[in-house]
Amino acid sequence: MRFGYFIVEGPHDQEFVGRLLKIELGKMQRIRQEEDLDARWKVLIPRTFPHDGDLLKRMPVPTFFQNQEWSIAIQNAIGDTKLAAALADDLTSLDAPPEFVGVFLDADKDAPQNRFNALQRELTQRGFTLPTLQASGQVCKQAHYEDENQTQAKLRLGIFVLPDNQSIGTLENILLECAANNYPTLHQAAQAYVQNIDLSGLNSDDLQDIRKPTGRLKATVSCVSNILRPGKSVQVSIQDNRWIDKQTETLPKIQACLCFVRELLSCTPPSENVIGV
C-alpha cells in the first residue's frame, strides 16, 4: 500500500480533491468506518471531544480514500492561516511519512506567487526543506521534513494555488466554470439571480458576507448546489453531483489541478539521487 496526504483550507476543497482523485485513480472507496482505515492514519483521528475545549469547533478528522494501491488522507486545516501548522503537526504525529504531500490553497485577491511565497516561507520555518520548489503548481521530488526530534523524512511536496496558479480567485471560480459546462441553464439562472437580487432591505450584518470579494461567487455556487441537493451543504453536492467529472476534466483549470495531482502520484518514489520538479 502506498500512502499520500493532501491538506486544504476547508470542506469544499476536501471534496474537490476527492473528485480529482477519482478521475485520476478510478474507483476510490471513501473510508467511513474506522475499522476499515489503515492503522497508519489512526493517529490523526482526535480521541477527545470537544476539540480544544470548544463545543462548537468542528472535529478535525481527515477524509480518507483508498483503492488497492493507494491510501490517501485529505486534511482540512480549517483556514489558510493554519495550513503549515496543521501539516507539521500531522507529519510529526505519523510514525512514517506519506509518499507525498499536496497543499491546495486559494489565491483570493492576492497574486498566486505571493500566496505561494508566504506559505513556502512558513513551511521552511517549520522544518521543511524544499530545494527545487520555486512556484505554485510545481512538485519538489526531494523535499525533506525534520521534526523537533531532528528526525528527517523524505517525501514529494507540492503547493497548488487555486484556481490555476496564475489567476486571482478561489475554488468557486473553478466550480462555476464546471457548472456552466454541465449545468448551463441552472448556472445562468443562479448567476442572474445573485447579480440582480435586491439587497436594499438588508442591514450591515446581513450583508457582511455577500460584500466580501468572493461573496457573490460563493452565493452563486450555493444556489446551484441547493437546487441539486436542497437543504444540504455545498460539499455534499460536490461529492454527489457532476461538478467534477469526465466532461469537466477537459477544462483548463481542472487539467492544471489534475497534472499537479498526477505529478504527486508519480510512480517514482523519493530518491536520494533525484532532485527535481
How does pLDDT run across 71-110, given as a tens digit for each residue?
A: 999 999 988 899 999 999 999 999 999 999 999 999 999 9
Structural domain of residue 221, as residue ranges? 171-250
Same domain, 11 and 101: yes
Render pLDDT for 132-147 as a digit per residue (tens, 0 to 9): 999 999 999 999 998 7
Q: Are residues 74 and 198 in the same domain?
A: no
For range 35-39, the mean pLDDT: 95
Whether residues 130 and 212 fall in one domain: no
Q: Answer whether residue 131 is part of any domain.
A: yes
6 and 86 co-located in one domain: yes
Asked whether residue 60 is domain-assigned, the answer is yes
195 and 216 in a single domain? The answer is yes
Regarding whether 118 and 10 lie in a shared domain, the answer is yes
What pLDDT score was predicted for residue 271?
A: 44
| C-alpha 45: how far from chain center | 18
Residues 14 and 56 in one domain: yes
If asked whether residues 213 and 154 sit together in one domain, one would say: no
pLDDT bin (cut points 50, 70, 90) of residue 274 is: very low
Please say if the pLDDT value at position 267 is more than 90: no
Q: In angstroms, what CA-CA distances link 277 with 134, 168, 212?
A: 9, 23, 36
Task: Report the pLDDT value the prediction gives residue 118, as an integer from 0 to 100.
Answer: 97
Would you say 1 and 69 are in contact if contact means Cβ atoms under 8 Å apart? Answer: yes
* Residues 32, 65, 167, 251, CA torsion sign: negative
- Residue 29 is predicted with a pLDDT of 93
Please answer whether residues 250 and 258 qualify as being in contact, where contact means their C-beta atoms are separated by less than 8 angstroms: no
Q: Are residues 57 and 158 in the same domain?
A: yes
The answer to whether residue 46 scores a pLDDT higher than 50 is yes
> What is the average per-residue pLDDT within 250-276?
76
Return the CATH number at 29: 3.40.50.10620
Look over the chain and give the mean of its residue pLDDT values, rounded to a whole number.
92
Q: Could you give the CA distance from residue 254 to residue 257 in angstroms, rounded to a whole number?
A: 5
Fill in the amino acid letter for 191: Q
Residues 6+ apart with CB under 8 A from 210: 199, 216, 219
Q: For the whole model, what pTM was predicted?
A: 0.92
Written as nine digits, the cell of 86 is 496543521
DSSP for 49-105 reads SSGGG-TTSPP-PPEEEE-SSEEEEEEE-SSGGGHHHHHHHHHHHSSS--SEEEEEE
* 195 and 175 share one domain: yes
> Looking at the structure, do residues 115 and 220 belong to the same domain, yes or no?
no
Residue 269 lies in a domain: no
The answer to whether position 222 is within a domain reads yes
pLDDT at 252: 97
> What percent of the chain is modeled with pLDDT above 70?
95
Predicted confidence at residue 270, as pLDDT, reads 42
Residues 106 and 230 in one domain: no
CA angle (10, 128, 136) in 5-degree steps = 55
Residue 273 lies in a domain: no
Q: Lowest-confidence range among 97-106, 208-217, 259-268?
A: 259-268
The pLDDT tens digits for 145-179 are 987 766 678 999 999 999 999 999 999 999 999 99
